[in-house]
Structure 1
């Protein structure tokens, strides 16, 4: 099992633990799954976020 699948499963489990209930709560589960998927893609290096988090650097 790769990291993306593992993170998606973890996101689903956490979402179920947080929101066990109605349709609105199921949307929260989907949000947790999407967050887990994106974080796994960042960890694997498929998504590069360095331009967004590096900030402005002055070369002195």
Structure 2
């Protein structure tokens, strides 16, 4: 799947969620989707948690 198709599918899901469950349901889906994306990136190795924590603390990494 290419990124355009994934983005379009995510947009459709969020639009349906907003229509069915209202604003708070939409917001809850967004929060859980973001958490799932971060966990997936960590598990797949695309996100280095140590580098993120160091950047948040103001430390530079090589």
Give TM class, smaller chain. Answer: 0.3 to 0.5
Q: TM-score, normalised by structure 2?
A: 0.45
Q: Give the structure, 1 or 2, with the largest relative contact order (CA under 8 Å, sep 6 or more).
A: 1
Q: TM-score, normalised by structure 1?
A: 0.46
**The structure with more helix, counted as a fraction of residues:** 2
